[in-house]
Amino acid sequence: MKKPVKIFVEGKTDKKFLKDYFQHIFSEFEIFDENIIDSGGWTNITSQKEQGETIRNQMQRNTADDGVNFMIFDADEDFSTRKDDIEQWRAKNNLNFDFFLFPNNTDSGDLEDLLEKIITDQNQPIFDCWESYETCLQEHASKIIGKKMTTPAKKTKIYGYLEALLGESNKEKEKLKEKNRDYRNIAHWNLDADYLKPLKEFLEKVTPLA
């Protein structure tokens, strides 16, 4: 018997990526917007304010309805620390869910680290140029401001990658927005990359239930 499934993610980028990835690897399985919940991130769900309470209530209601909860979040700076934090938060609030941490449920990092690993081979020079740009920034930092410069955020790097590949029209620029990105575009992304195997194995727990 199919059960209600809720997948809690950090934001709209995660939600769009997962919807596209689900569609790619499980063509017979349709995931809907209501299945994937944009939680607003770790700080939000652990808050004692209304936003945090709303997420906790959603999990508890889904469990009460014989549903199954999953959480897919970033490991961020330290995988072990975030894993421990989530387990403690789950126990403290008496919640039932399984979880996966980007980029690969083993290493520290985030969704953007995963995305860097699944670009198509022919587009690697774009990131090579970006690395040269970051190196150049630091080499000239002391001459310009007398200290190390701030390296652009990883989100900016992914945006720059897509901006280099897409056209200059307003219609093409719209495709840069997180909610409009097409991760199934084989000219940009390789959704069959080996790096995605841990995520695929985790998501295989979801499809028989929904």
Can you give the pTM of this predicted structure? 0.91
For the domain made up of 5-110+195-203, the CATH class stated in words is: alpha beta
CA distances from 49 to 12, 57, 157, 168 (A): 21, 12, 33, 42
Terminal CA-CA length for the chain? 9
Q: Which two tokens stand for residue 12?
A: 């709209």
| Cβ contact 69:97 at 8 Å | yes
The backbone torsions φ and ψ at residue 9, rounded to the nearest 5 degrees and listed phi first, read -125, 175
pLDDT-derived band of residue 209, with 50, 70 and 90 as boundaries?
low
pLDDT at 147 exceeding the cut of 60:
yes
Domain boundaries, the chain: 5-110+195-203, 119-180
pLDDT at 189 exceeding the cut of 80:
yes
Cis amide leading into 4 (omega within 30): no
